A and B are shown apart, each in its own frame.
Chain A
């Protein structure tokens, strides 16, 4: 249910401020925003636990080694920033199934989990292929 106080900021304002933050990041740190490379690093780190030779033999993991870097911390920061913004504005809400999904596919948590998992695997494959 949408709550009365759950309004947020204008997307134009929040977007423009994001543009300012991204410009400052390029200026002072030389880093452009990105996220999908971090999933490669995470996957490499996990796979290394049970198949270290496999990780070492794959060119893609050599090119993108499983280390924690600027972008990895950036993705963690996104989670924290959203947590701060939502809990301080009472728009934080534990939700297992989104409203629009529920209206179309019902309230099943496992159905949503299955689709989100498969969708995520497909999405990152495409994102990596396009180098996005």
Chain B
């Protein structure tokens, strides 16, 4: 019960910030995919930068555990290509379409219904996928610092500087 309340409160905060950042709308999502408006990339990358530093600090202090998903090239590459096609047609993400509905863009409702159907279809295909795509290029639960054999405090500053350079370029180009 406590977990459910934490989930609701965290979601409300996230939904509030998504709406304030103006990243929920179809026009913004398509603007990013069409490389015309980088608002969403600015929002996402800012969240990643702060979260990356915050979570690794917590990990170093023994206060949190990382949640690492296995790197399976077949599943990740094929899955992301399929996701991209669907995202381009729908114009909302799985989580943010709930927020789009919250600000009155109720065409998100069709996306939500479609996703419920799509999830049921995926469950039907899962056994066949597990025997095929999920076995292609499985590298297990790896991270970039581990693969490079360096401390994460080497990778993180590089990532931060590269992102700030990208932000600077976006602003220069008016994206």
Knowing A19-B54, A40-B123, A93-B104, the reply to whether A84 touches B12 (Cβ < 8 A) is yes
A69 within 8 A of B: yes
Query: Closest Cβ of chain B: how far from A46's Cβ, in Å?
Result: 6
Interface of chain B residues 60 through 89 with chain A (CB within 8 A): 63-65, 67, 69-70, 72, 75-76, 78-89
Query: B89 touches which one: A68, A71, A118 (CB < 8 A)?
Result: A118
Query: A25 touches which one: B10, B23, B97 (CB < 8 A)?
Result: B10
**B86–A126 touching, CB < 8 Å:** yes
B140 within 8 A of A: no
B residues in contact with A95, CB < 8 Å: 104-107
Could you tell me the distance between the alpha carbons of A57 and B22 in the complex, rounded to whole angstroms?
A: 42
B4 within 8 A of A: yes
B174 within 8 A of A: no
Tell me if A's interface is mostly helix, strand, loop or mixed.
Answer: helix
Closest-by-CB residue of B relative to A110 is B110
**A79–B26 touching, CB < 8 Å:** no
Identify 5 residue pairs between A and B in the complex whose beta-carbon atoms are under 8 Å apart, listed by A's number. A12-B46, A39-B116, A77-B9, A77-B15, A126-B78
Knowing A8-B21, A78-B99, A86-B19, the reply to whether A116 touches B110 (Cβ < 8 A) is yes
Residues on A lying within 8 angstroms of B by beta carbon are 8-23, 25-36, 38-40, 42-44, 46-47, 58-61, 68-86, 89, 91-101, 109, 112-132
**B26–A98 touching, CB < 8 Å:** yes
Residues of B within 8 A of A (CB-CB), count: 105
**A30–B115 touching, CB < 8 Å:** no
**B85–A120 touching, CB < 8 Å:** no
**A20–B86 touching, CB < 8 Å:** no
A residues in contact with B23, CB < 8 Å: 11, 14
**A119–B7 touching, CB < 8 Å:** no
**A82–B100 touching, CB < 8 Å:** yes
Knowing A81-B19, A82-B24, the reply to whether A21 touches B107 (Cβ < 8 A) is no
Knowing A18-B17, A123-B115, the reply to whether A81 touches B26 (Cβ < 8 A) is no
